Amino acid sequence: MKRHATWALACCAALLGACASTPSTTATPSVRADEVGEYRAGSGLLKGYLAAGEAPDSLALVPAPPAADSPAYAADVATARRLAALVPGPRGAQARKDAQLRFPDAASTFSCALGVRVSEADTPHLNMLPRRTLTDAGLATYKAKNHYNRTRPFVALKHPTCTPDEEAKLSKDGSYPSGHASLGWAWALSLAEVAPERANEILQRGRAFGQSRSVCGVHWQSDIQAGWLVGAATVARLHSNADYRAQLAAARNEVAKARQAGTVPNAADCSAEAAALAETSQLAP
């Protein structure tokens, strides 16, 4: 099963990467939050690239979540119990970091995978790209999420989470598909086009970012897999958007300049991240 899932995700990445040949626009997308505007006033969440009605239909896209008496649900439960053991250690600490989607902190999520330090000051387009795709890919999950209203694993299994302060809110929010997994995979696919020479590292980080939600006990493994599908569909849709394509091109130029300037992330931080993420591969399917 793992080989089939990995193969499918790799194929998605390859197909979406081919879209990079789409002719670029001459438009210059904004790097200023006040010009882009908020999706909802006071939320800190910027407007995405897609207009209302343009996002993928997640309810039509993903299958129903596993039934409670199915082998797939039993596999979800077994995975949740294995990963719960990681919460007190370094992998749990990394999962807590991955749970935070507020910028500027979230800008550094893929810095180690990229080999470039990401910030609003040094790489403004590279910083804006995930800020806006976060909205598109995250919100794209809600048609299915609201329809199925699946109970989250920490509620069903009474496990601790990485983010206890969010448990009251998350217990009322549907689990399937995972919004974090969707937006994290959208980030990974986009950044793999920005820096194709680091595509393996970036896609591995995108997978681990989604897996962090299972470590935290707030998503089942099948939630994560469905989220990856919605994220890939969102990026496919984004390639028809001129601002997105232009921001990709501008971010690609910034990465090249940052490499020349030696604007790299802290090596010790990247070593610690790699060690923490390696723990998941030993337990997750």
pLDDT tens, position by position, 147-198: 999 999 999 999 888 889 999 999 999 999 999 999 999 999 999 999 999 9
Residue 65 within any structural domain of the chain:
no
Residue 188 within any structural domain of the chain:
yes
Residue 253 within any structural domain of the chain:
yes
* Residues carrying an active site annotation: 180, 213, 219, 223
Report pLDDT digits (tens) over 230-242. 999 999 999 999 9
End-to-end CA distance of the chain: 8
Tokens of 111: 């810095």
Q: How many domains does the chain have?
A: 1
Residue 37 within any structural domain of the chain:
no
pLDDT given at position 2: 41
pLDDT given at position 11: 40
Residue 12 within any structural domain of the chain:
no
Confidence label for 101 from pLDDT (cuts 50, 70 and 90): very high
User: pLDDT exceeding 70 applies to what percent of the chain?
Assistant: 88
The CATH number assigned to the domain holding 251 equals 1.20.144.10
Amino acid letter at 183? Answer: L
Residue 102 within any structural domain of the chain:
yes
Determine contact, residues 163/204, Cβ cutoff 8 Å.
no
pLDDT given at position 6: 40
Give helix 221-238 / helix 2-18 axis angle, nearest 10°. Answer: 10
Residue 38 dihedral angles phi and psi, to the nearest 5°:
-85, 145
What predicted TM-score, i.e. pTM, was given to this entire model? Answer: 0.88
Range(s) of the domain holding residue 167? 71-281
d(C-alpha 247, C-alpha 129), whole Å: 6
DSSP assignment of 140-207: TTHHHHHHH-PPPHHHHH----S-GGGHHHHTTS--SS-HHHHHHHHHHHHHHHH-GGGHHHHHHHHH
Report pLDDT digits (tens) over 142-156. 999 999 999 999 999
Residue 41 within any structural domain of the chain:
no
Regarding predicted confidence, which is higher, 3 or 56? Answer: 56
Neighbours of 260 (CB within 10 A): 8
Residue 136 within any structural domain of the chain:
yes
User: Is cis: bond before 177, omega within 30 of 0?
Assistant: yes
**Average pLDDT of the chain, as a whole number:** 89
